[in-house]
Structure 1
C-alpha cells in the first residue's frame, strides 16, 4: 500500500522487518518478492507516484559534474525509478529497455584486467536472471541465437572464434510502473512511504549493525525507521551517497574502512563504430536477424559481440556491435554544425522532459531555439529516410526499401575496465535537506581505448573473413569516436568481493562488517561487460530476498526453540 509521512508523527520510531531504500525496478522487485513472505516491509521512495522536478533535483551531483562528454544528468525519483525514462519503441510498447545478461566471460577473472573477477559463479546467477526476466514481461529464453532462430530468419555464421552473435530482449516499463504498482497498492504487508528521502543510516556502537534509517519528508520533517534488515536499492550513485553520508560512527561512512565506497566507477561508452559495407548489396535479407523485431511475441535484436573465448585469451573489451541500414550519403545528410548539434541534442532532452512531465530547463530551451535549423534538418531527413536506430527498429518489415540501402551504420556499447581512481565521492555542495551531493571523477583510460580498438579490429576481421563486408572503422585521431561517454549504466561503486580490502559487499551483496545491510544495485558489479546492468541488478535483488527470508526463518526457528526450552 502507499502511505504518506503524514501518517506518522515527526521523529516517530517506525518499525518493520525489512526496510528497502528506493522504489526503482530493483526496489519494486524486492518489495514484490518480499510480499510473498510473512515479513513486514517498508519501502522508502524519495519521489511520489508522479514525476517531480523537486524530487529529481535531490539526486543531482554537484554543479559542473560530468562524465567525459556528458554534463547533463537525468535521474528519476518516483515510483518505478528510471523505468519511467525507458523510451525504446518496440512492436509491443513505447517504453522498452534493451536487456541482456553478462556472460561467463564477463564475470570471470581476466589476467590483463586488474581487479577483475566476481566472487560468484555465472551458473549460480542464471536462475535469478531467468526469474528477473519475468519482472520485465519476458520469458527465460536466454540470449543466445538458438532460442530465437526461425526457418526464414537466422543469425549469420561468423566463422570466427573471436566473434559471436547474441540477442537482446526488450523489457516493458509498464510491468513496473503500472502492473506492480497496482498489485502492491493492495498489499497491506508492504508499505511504500512516498516523498521519503533517506539522509543517512545509524549503526550500533560495535559498528556492525544498522540500527536506524533516517529519512525526511517533502516538508523536511525527520522520521526514523528501525528494521531487522536494510536493503539499499538506490542505484550505483545514490547508494554511494547514502553510505558516505552515514558518518555518525565513522567519518568515512559505512562500509568504507578500506576507502572502496565509490571507487572503481565504470560506465558504458556509446561508440559510433563507423560503417559496414556489405560485399553483396542486394542481400539485405541476410541481415534481418539483426533488426529489432518480434519473435514469439517477444521484441528482440540480434547483434555481434566479442566471444568469451577471446575475452579470456586477448586484451579485448567486451563489446556489442549493432547494425542499422543506411544509404551511402547518410552521414552527409545528417551532418550538423556544432551549434545545430547542440540544438538537436537539446531537443531530445526536452522531449524526454516533456514525456516525463518535467518543466523544460532553460539551458536546453535556449540551445534548441538557437539550433532550430538543425532540429528541422534532422526532422526532414527522418521523414524522407526513416531510419532504424537504438530507439526503434522494423526496417526488415519494409523489404521494398532494401534497394535504397547501401551500407550499415555500426553502433557499439563498450566495456570500461575498473580503475580505482575513477570514483564517486562527496562534494561540499548540499541539497535542500543538508545532504552532501556527490562529485564524479571519471576518465576513459588508455587501456580502455586500446582494448576497444582491438575489439573493433576483431569485428573487421570477422566481417571480411566471413564474406559479410568491409568494415570502415570510424575514429577521431586514432581514438574510437564517442557518441556518449555515458549510457547511465553506473557500476562498480559498491563492488562485490570476498575480500573486504577490495570491495564493499560480499558475494551475497551484504556490506562487509555489517550484519543486516545489503546493497542491491548495478554498483555491486566488479566489471561491466556491455550489458545494461538493470536486469542483473534485479536478479541480485531477488537473491538478496532469498538470503533475508532464510535468515529470518532461522531467527524465528531459534526463538521458537528458546521458548520451547
Structure 2
C-alpha cells in the first residue's frame, strides 16, 4: 500500500511492523519483497517521492574537502523511490574469493566468504533482469597477468518503474513516501532500537515501531544517520570503535593514456581486462579492470577493416599528409583509443564521512566527505597500468602511451576520478575495532538494527557494486526472516 506521509494523520504512529526499512532503493526494496513474500509486515520508508524533486535532492548537499569529487557529493545519489537505480548504468560484475579475503592497510577483509554471498547469485540476476548466460561471455586473448573480462549489462533495471505497482498493491508492505528518517531512538538499555523518528515534508514528526530495523539509505546517508543519532550515545550509534563513516571507498577511474592499434582483429567492442589474483598477490597490490576503448571512427569491421586501418597508419605517419586530409578521412591521429579503469580502492580509515555544523531543513547535520587514497592505492594504480601496457604491446595488439605521471613515481598522479560507486563507511567486521556491522549486517552493540547496501563493504574489489549489494540484500532478507520468526 502507498501512503504519502505528507497527507497522513498522526494515527500513523499506532502501527506496529515486523521490520521497518529506511530507504527504498535496490537494497531496501529487495529486502522488503523477500519479507513480504513470507507474510511479514513491512514499513518501507522513502524520504523522497515517486518522482525527482529539487527540494528533496537538496537534502543531499554536503562538502568535499579531500580528492575532487562529483558536485559536492550530491549528484551521484537520487532521493526518490528507486534511489540511485534511477540513473544506474546497468554494468554488473562480481567479486573473486580473493577480493573478500584481501587485507590492506592493516584492515581485515570480509568476515564472510564469497560462497555465503554467491548462494544468491541467481536471485540477484533475476532481480536485475540479467540474462541466464550473464557473465558467460569471455574471449581468451593470451594475457598472462590479466584475464579478459566481459561485464554483463542489466537493461538497466529501474526499481521505481519495475516495482512501484507491486509495492502499491502489496498487502504486506506499506510504502511511505515523503518519510525522512530524522532520528533513531534507543530504549533505556541503549542496545535496542525503540522507534524511528520520521519527519514529513511539512516537518510533522511520526514514530515508527517494529521488531527489527534496517538502514538502507546508501553509503553516505547510512553513516550520516548513525553519527547524527547521538542524543543518547554521544559518539553516535554503532560507533564504539570509532569506525562509523570511515573507510569511504570508490573505484578509481584513471585516465592512463592512449593506444595505437597494431592488430585490429581482437578489438571489436574494445578490450577489458582484469588483474589476476596471482598477480595482485605477487605484486602486493589491489585488483582492477582496465578498459581499452577504441575510437569507433577509426575501427571498422568486415572485409575492408584491415585496408582502412593500413591506410590510416600511412596517413597519420606521413609527414606530408595535411590536416585537411586527416579530417576528411576521419582519422584521429593522436591515437586509436583511450585507457580508463575501475581500480579497487583499499579501505583507509582516513577516507571518511563526518558531520558538518551546517544543518538541513530537518535539523540533521550535513556531511563532510574527505575522500583520500593511500600509497598502496598509488602502487595499485601504477602497477596495473604499466603491466597491462606491457602485455598489450607484447601480444602485438597495440602500442601504448602512458601518461608521465603514471610512469614517474616521483610525480603526483593527476586526474584521479571516480565512478559514483560509494562504498564502506559502515564496513562489515568481526569486531567494532575494524567496522560497524557484524557478519549478519547487524550493528555492533545493537540487538535489532541492521544496515544494508554497499556501505557494509569491507573491501570494494574492482566490481560495480549493484550486483553484489543485491546478493547481500537477499542474504540479509533471509536472516531477518529467522530473527522475526
Same fold (TM over 0.5): yes
**1:69–1:239 distance in 2 versus 1, CA, 3 Å:** closer
Contact 2:45 2:175 (8 Å CA) reproduced: yes
Shift of residue 399 of structure 1? Answer: 7.6
Name the CA shift for 1:441/1:399 in 2 (closer, same or farther; >3 Å).
Answer: farther
Q: How far off its partner does 1:514 sit?
A: 0.9
Aligned to 1:57: 58
Is the alpha carbon distance of 1:211 and 1:69 closer, same or farther for their aligned partners in structure 2, counting shifts above 3 Å? closer
- The SS at the match of 2:256 is strand
Change (3 A) 1:186 1:285: farther
Are 1:273 and 1:481, in contact at CA under 8 Å, matched by a contact in 2?
no
What corresponds to 1:98 in structure 2?
91
Assess if the C-alpha contact under 8 Å between 1:80 and 1:177 holds in 2: yes
Residues 21 and 231, structure 1, Cα contact 8 Å, conserved in 2: yes
Contact 1:105 1:309 in 2 (8 A): no
Given that 2:191 and 2:447 are in contact with CA atoms closer than 8 Å, whether structure 1 keeps it comes out as: yes
For residues 412 and 90 of structure 2, the distance between their equivalents in structure 1, rounded to whole angstroms, comes to 25
- 1:154-209 deviation per Cα after TM superposition (whole angstroms, max 9, x unaligned): 34121x1x211122111134441212112222112111100111011011211111
Among residues 271, 274, 277, which one is paired with 2:257 in the alignment? 274
Structure-1 residue corresponding to 2:325: none
Cα separation, 2, equivalents of 1:480 and 1:142: 39
Aligned pairs for 1:452-463 (under 5 A) are 452-463=381-392
Return the alpha-carbon distance in structure 1 between the equivalents of residues 105 and 226 of structure 2.
27
Of 350, 354, 378, the match for 1:421: 350
Aligned to 1:504: 436
1:254 corresponds to 2:243: no
Q: Is the 8 A contact 1:68 1:444 kept in 2?
A: no
The answer to whether the 8 A contact 1:500-1:512 is kept is yes
Counterpart in 2 of 1:230? 213
Quote the offset at 1:510 in angstroms. Answer: 0.8
Shift of 1:71: 4.2
Q: Which residue of 2 aligns with 1:449?
A: 378
Residue 129 of structure 1 pairs with residue 114 of structure 2: no
| Alignment match, 1:139 | 131
**Is 1:318 equivalent to 2:324 in the alignment?**
no
Asked if the contact 2:82–2:158 (Cα under 8 Å) also holds between the matched residues in 1, the reply is no
1:549 is the counterpart of 2:478: no
Residues 248 and 171 of structure 1, relative CA distance in 2, 3 Å threshold: same
Structure 1 residue 8 displacement after superposition: 3.2
**2:464 match:** 532
CA distance in 1, matches of 2:36, 2:302: 46
Aligned residue for 2:420, secondary structure, equals: coil
Quote the offset at 1:33 in angstroms.
1.8
Q: Is this contact kept in 1: 2:66–2:372, CA < 8 A?
A: no
**Distance in 1 separating the partners of 2:373 and 2:458:** 17
- Alignment length (residue pairs): 454
Alignment counterpart, residue 515 of structure 1, candidates 431, 447, 460: 447
Q: Which runs of 5+ in 2 are unaligned?
A: 313-330
For the residues of structure 1 that align with 2:79 and 2:300, how far apart are their CA atoms? 37
After TM superposition, the structure 1 = structure 2 runs for residues 18-417 of structure 1, keeping only pairs within 5 Å, are 18-62=19-63, 65=65, 67-68=67-68, 70-72=70-72, 73-74=74-75, 75-86=77-88, 96-110=89-103, 113-139=105-131, 141=133, 143=135, 147-149=136-138, 154-158=139-143, 160=144, 162-280=145-263, 284-288=264-268, 290-291=269-270, 303-326=272-295, 403=309, 407-417=336-346
> Which residue does the alignment assign to 1:372?
none
Query: For the aligned residues, what is the CA RMSD?
Result: 2.3
Deviation digits for residues 294-338 of structure 1, max 9, x if unmatched? Answer: xxxxxxxx6101111122222223111112113xxxxxxxxxxxx
TM-superposed deviation, 1:66: 5.6
Deviations, residues 400-458 of structure 1 (Å, cap 9, x unaligned): 67636762311112111111111101111100010111111222223311221011122
Answer whether contact 2:245 2:353 (CA < 8 A) is retained: yes
Cα distance in 2 for partners of 1:442, 1:179 equals 34
String of CA shifts for 1:461-508, please: whole Å, max 9, x gaps.
222333323222124373586555332211120011111221100111
Matches of 1:116 and 1:279 in 2, distance apart? Answer: 43
Aligned partners of 1:474 and 1:481 also within 8 Å: no
Structure 1 portions without partners, runs of 5+: 87-95, 292-301, 327-384, 388-394, 554-565
Q: How big is the shift at 1:25?
A: 1.3
**Secondary structure, counterpart of 1:172 in structure 2:** coil
Provide closer, same or farther for how the CA distance between residues 207 and 141 of structure 1 changes in structure 2, counting only shifts above 3 A: farther
Deviations 1:518-555 (A, max 9, x none): 111111111112211122112111111100111222xx
The normalised TM-score by structure 1 is 0.76
Quote the offset at 1:139 in angstroms: 3.3
Structure 1 match to 2:319 = none
Q: Name the CA distance, whole Å, in 2 between partners of 1:49 and 1:230.
A: 23
Q: CA deviation at 1:12?
A: 2.5
C-alpha distance in 1, partners of 2:79/2:232? 28
Matched, 1:15 2:16: yes
